[in-house]
Chain A
Amino acid sequence: MEAIELEDSFLVGRISAGDAEAFARFFDRHAAAVLGLVVRILGSRGEAEEVVQEVFLQVWRQSERYEAGRSTPRGWLLMVARSRALDRLRRRDARDRHEQEAAADAGFPRVAPPRGTGRLEEAERREQIHSALNLLSPEQRRCIELAFFEGLTHTQIAERLAAPLGTVKSRILLAMNKLRQALST
């Protein structure tokens, strides 16, 4: 286990015990990443601010839901952030279909952020993920992005892309298997 994960696990444990300092420290370590993810999903900074606050509040209230064996604290946090941001996106879509178009450009960064942003282990892992994403065909990548950033299902992706459902299903299956293989090392 990396030192970073060890410290994060420790902090999550302290948060469960009601330790506000540990909570502040956990926020300082990951807030920028959470903001980055939420902005990518929502496409706007104003709403993102509220969602980041909700995400960390959920961490504070439900840190005992974190299962150490299942993921890293950061991975768990980012999944909470994604799901909160997608909830917001769906509510917004119900209100206003126009905004959906604005968010339609959401995707993974086309270039890996330069080294020196963030911690070394994270930067290395990000580069690994970038090369894994580059293994995908543009169509496969688009399907994964629509599912990941907009929370669309098979059927919705097929509608959006005007592609046959079977094609979308197999693109997602192949893409996920490629990513899993490339990232399992």
Chain B
Amino acid sequence: MTSDHSPRHDDLLPAYALGALDGEELRELQAHVETGCPVCAAELRRLAACVEDLAGAAAVLPEDLAGPVPGTPEVPEMLAGIRQRLLAQVAAEPRAAELRAAELRASPRPATAAAPVPATPAAPAAAAPARFGRRRAPGDPTASTAPAAPAGAAGRWPLLAAAAMLALVAVWGIVRQASLGAEIERLQGERRQLAARADALERRVTQMQAESERLARTLTILAAPKVQSVSLAGMGTTHSAVGRTYIDAAGRQAVFYASNLPALGPDKSYQLWYLDEDDQKTSAGVFDVDARGKAALVIDQPLPLERIQGWVVTVEPRGGRPQPTGPIAMAG
């Protein structure tokens, strides 16, 4: 059940995010937020990001403390000291989640706590991967197993077993460090791949948008009230090709379709030209054909309709030329 969001709540949220709200206002807003108001939830997320940014800006050693202070350790040594103490503490303390897991393991069959007693020094090798990094605290049921092993018969065995275990754990630690690095590298590689895929998809979307825009314009031209049409026929080796230009006499827009045109090599393009009464040829655009030998070209320029005497398609170097240089593929 959510209570209605009001502008008053908007005014209280910034101070709330900063932790500066108190008294009745705090109680009022807290009660409202706890009803699950989606407006507040979204706004609080944005404000929390803002407070985190403030923390980021403040997370710089003050200028006067960044340098050495007489009688105190310098920052790197200080951090190294903290690090050492933390890692020792962490090694001695199972995480809460692990404690729960250990309880779960222990509770149904209390006997299992003592079960994985290493019978030979090799046994911990199998256990180590799953357990490494987890601290063998006094309270950890599995921790007491090694010393509890054969006590009387061969007094040296527990020591040897413990030493072997330590050695294995150390080796495992080194391996783990390497595999952690490798895993991070793998994830970063994956991220790059995903980014590349996103780029490709974005390009595809742009292409599709261009395509749909082209189709829309084609439709406008075809559906225009006054459309002039000229058909083109293939010549020579491309004699089976057929094509047609449609020109919207009012809007001066045009579109050209062709089919049965052979595909060209990667270094060549088809280019469409119109001829005026002086036999001057002006480019109307460059196009390629698809796998089925079809092509469509929206002519993106105003056409001097009354002066156009005819159309030709030539084969040109990729990207086209200002004036035709190659063989004529179609004319009309």
Measured CB to CB, the residues of A under 8 A from B are: 1, 3, 6-7, 10, 14, 16, 18-25, 27-28, 31-37, 39-41, 45-46, 49, 52-53, 56-57, 60-62, 64, 70-72, 74-76, 78-79, 81-82, 108-109, 113, 117, 122, 125-126, 129-130, 132-133, 144, 147-149, 151-157, 169, 172-173, 176-177, 179-180, 183-184
> Taking CB as reference atom, which chain B residue is nearest A28?
B83
Asked if B57 contacts A130 (CB within 8 A), the reply is: yes
Q: Which of B52, B55, B81, B133 has the most CB of A within 10 A?
A: B55
Using Cβ atoms and an 8 Å threshold, which residues of chain B touch A62?
A: 96
What is the interface of chain B mostly: helix, strand, loop, or mixed? helix
Interface residues on B, range: 35 or more
A24 to B75, CA, bound (A): 17
Using Cβ atoms and an 8 Å threshold, which residues of chain B touch A109?
A: 57-58, 60, 62-63
Asked if B134 contacts A18 (CB within 8 A), the reply is: yes
Other A-B pairs beyond A16-B95, A18-B134, A148-B51, 18, CB < 8 Å:
A3-B191, A23-B90, A31-B83, A33-B60, A36-B58, A39-B62, A45-B69, A56-B82, A61-B93, A74-B56, A129-B54, A129-B57, A144-B54, A147-B18, A148-B58, A172-B14, A176-B17, A184-B46
Q: How far is the CB of A129 from chain B (nearest CB, A)?
A: 4
Instruction: Tell me if B91 counts as interface (CB < 8 A to partner A).
Output: yes
Q: Which of A1, A125, A144 touches B56 (beta carbons < 8 Å)? A: A125
Asked if B20 contacts A153 (CB within 8 A), the reply is: yes
22 contacts between A and B (CB under 8 A): A1-B191, A6-B188, A6-B191, A19-B176, A20-B91, A21-B173, A32-B61, A35-B78, A40-B58, A41-B58, A70-B48, A71-B48, A78-B52, A79-B48, A79-B55, A109-B60, A148-B58, A152-B20, A173-B11, A176-B18, A179-B53, A183-B50
